[in-house]
Amino acid sequence: MMKPSLVLLLAFSLALATSVAAKLQKDFYKKSCPQAEQTVQTIIWKHVAGNPELAAKFLRLFFHDCFVRGCDASILIDSKAKDTEKFAAPNLSLAGFDVIEDVKSELEKECPGVVSCADIIALAARDSVSYQFHRSLWEVKLGRRDGKISRSSEARTEIPSPNDDFSTLVGRFAKKSLDVKDLVVLSVLREQRSEITPTFACAVNAVIDED
């Protein structure tokens, strides 16, 4: 059975993704990369089988990505100056980056330059949660584009903090077309803590917009 905290994070992540989605569609890769969703599921399920905690980690990664500039994979962009979203304090405990890289590497072999990292993160969130049920729990519409701008300052100021007072939290959520009911998910954002160290092919061609 899914943990209550995971259910809350799932509900909130879906609400946030819906609020920022535009022109997404079912079977987006049907012609350009027909095996894309199956490839993502196979790899994600393999990793979750060995580490069940990845479900919550991928949902949290998806949430943090979507809360800044929308669901555009800007959370993956690296920088020697460490001034991108990935290096902002709220994101230092995120995990699952290495698995996203595994998925991207395989998809590049199958369909070079076709599947966006933003779609991979969205699918990873769904497939990691779905693993224990052995079926996809919800449909993920695809067609997201990867962002080329990533600022640590935006992540620091936009991602909700456990130290924010109520009025600040309400303001942050309102900017994302979310209401007070969604604040309940904040209780789970402090649960997962792990180190991350890899680099990412997903962001290799990104243009970094400095703070």
Contact assessment for residue 143 and residue 28, using Cβ atoms and an 8 Å cutoff:
yes
Q: Which two tokens stand for residue 50?
A: 């060995």
- pTM of the shown model: 0.77
Q: What is the pLDDT of residue 105?
A: 97
Average pLDDT across the chain, whole number? 79
CA angle 34, 36, 41 (to 5 degrees): 130
Catalytic residue among 57, 60, 64, 176: 64
68 is in an annotated binding site: yes
Which of residues 46 and 203 earns the better pLDDT score?
46
72 is in an annotated binding site: yes
118-122, 169-173, 194-198: range with lowest mean pLDDT: 194-198
Distance between CA 163 and CA 197 in Å, rounded?
A: 26
DSSP letter at 138? S
Give tens-digit pLDDT for 122-140. 999 999 999 999 999 888 9
Residue 47 appears among annotated catalytic residues? no
* CATH class entry, domain 4-203: mainly alpha
Contact assessment for residue 59 and residue 6, using Cβ atoms and an 8 Å cutoff:
yes
Residue 4 has pLDDT above 70, yes or no: no
Q: What is the pLDDT of residue 61?
A: 94
65 is in an annotated binding site: yes
101 is in an annotated binding site: no
Give tens-digit pLDDT for 183-193. 554 444 434 33
The contacts of residue 36 (CB under 8 Å, 6+ apart) are 29, 107, 110, 111, 114, 115, 119
Q: Angle between the 117-130 and 54-67 helix axes, to the nearest 10 degrees?
A: 140
Buried b (16+ CB within 10 A) or exposed e, 58-92: bbbbbbbbbbbbbbbbbbbbbbeeebbbbbbebbe
- Which DSSP helix (H) or strand (E) runs through 64? helix 54-67
Query: Which SS3 state, helix, strand or coil, does residue 142 take?
Result: strand
Residue 211 has pLDDT above 60, yes or no: no
